[in-house]
Amino acid sequence: MDVTESNFAAAVLDRSHSLPVVVDFWADWCAPCRQLGPVLEREASKRSGRLELVKLDVDANPTVSRTYGIQGIPAVKAFHKGRVVAEFVGAQPTAAVERFLDSLLPSEAELLAKSGDEESLRAALELEPGHAHAAIQLARILYRRGQDQEALEILGNVHGSFAADGLSARIRLERSGVPDLSRAFAALDAGDKEQALDVLIESITLARSSRDEIRRVVVGILDELGLDHPLATMSRGRLASALY
């Protein structure tokens, strides 16, 4: 599929939120491009339904080419959730193209995590104990069932996830009962993140020993909202004021 500047956003950036989109930046006069193109097409077709390949003529679409810093071609960039996640420049042998494309596909643990049921989540964590998405989902199931300790143990295997860290902090705070944050957690469970953040950030100014745990819960909520969410933007400033 050929893309242009007029449909790049929809065909690549938007589409990459559903599955990886690989863009082959090429030109008709480029001999290495003609060498690489058939290899990419053949290997992408073997992975049809799991990723998509599109081609963009750099001469006909100079603005997009400049935006993504194309200096040499062929240039191949893989997009996921609107961002470049992997790339290479120059013609590559088939084995290298295969490895590149396979690196974009979800692992077995990721596929199991998408199912969302307890059995699949446990299977995912057997494969990847630190898989954040699976761990958070399973920990929430266990937490709602009152199995707090097992939930904490599962979350303890996850590193670098603000959401997992925040859920762990919430469980510890509820177990200690100090301070009373039931109103904040009830709002959070009801989907009212704004009220939950209001109560939690207010509590930071009053808390002493629990300040860092409350901060972790707040940061976890902000992480789930996303960097550019208006509520997250506003709340980050309030959190900083409450802490410092």
- Mean per-residue pLDDT pooled into runs of 10, the chain (244 residues): 94 94 96 96 94 96 95 96 94 96 91 93 96 96 96 96 97 90 94 96 89 96 92 94 89
Q: What is the CATH number of the domain that holds 204?
A: 1.25.40
Q: Are 67 and 28 found together in one domain?
A: yes
The conformational region for residue 160 under phi > 0 = left, psi -120 to 50 = alpha, else beta, is left
0.85 exceeded by the pTM? no
Residue 29: inside a domain: yes
Of the candidates 108, 52, 48, the one whose C-alpha atom is nearest the C-alpha of residue 80 is: 52
The answer to whether residue 33 is catalytic is: yes
pLDDT at res. 227:
85
Question: Of these residues, 3, 12, 33, 142, which one is catalytic?
Answer: 33
**Total domains present in the chain:** 2
pLDDT at res. 138:
97
Q: Are 93 and 132 found together in one domain?
A: no
pLDDT at res. 244:
85
Question: Of these residues, 3, 11, 21, 30, which one is catalytic?
Answer: 30
Q: Are 94 and 119 found together in one domain?
A: no
pLDDT at res. 209:
86
- Look-up of token digits 């009962």: 177
Look at residues 83, 102, 121 and tell me which one is the last residue of a structural domain: 102
Q: Which residues of 183-198 are buried (b: 16+ CB within 10 A; e: fewer)?
A: ebbebbeeeebeebbb
The answer to whether residue 30 is catalytic is: yes
Q: Are 53 and 165 found together in one domain?
A: no
C-alpha 169/C-alpha 178 separation (Å) is: 12
Domain that holds residue 128: 108-243
Q: What is the CATH number of the domain that holds 93?
A: 3.40.30.10
Q: Are 133 and 221 found together in one domain?
A: yes
Residue 156: inside a domain: yes
Q: Compute the radius of gyration of the chain from its Cα atoms.
A: 23
Contact by Cβ (8 Å): 136, 161: yes
Contact by Cβ (8 Å): 138, 118: yes
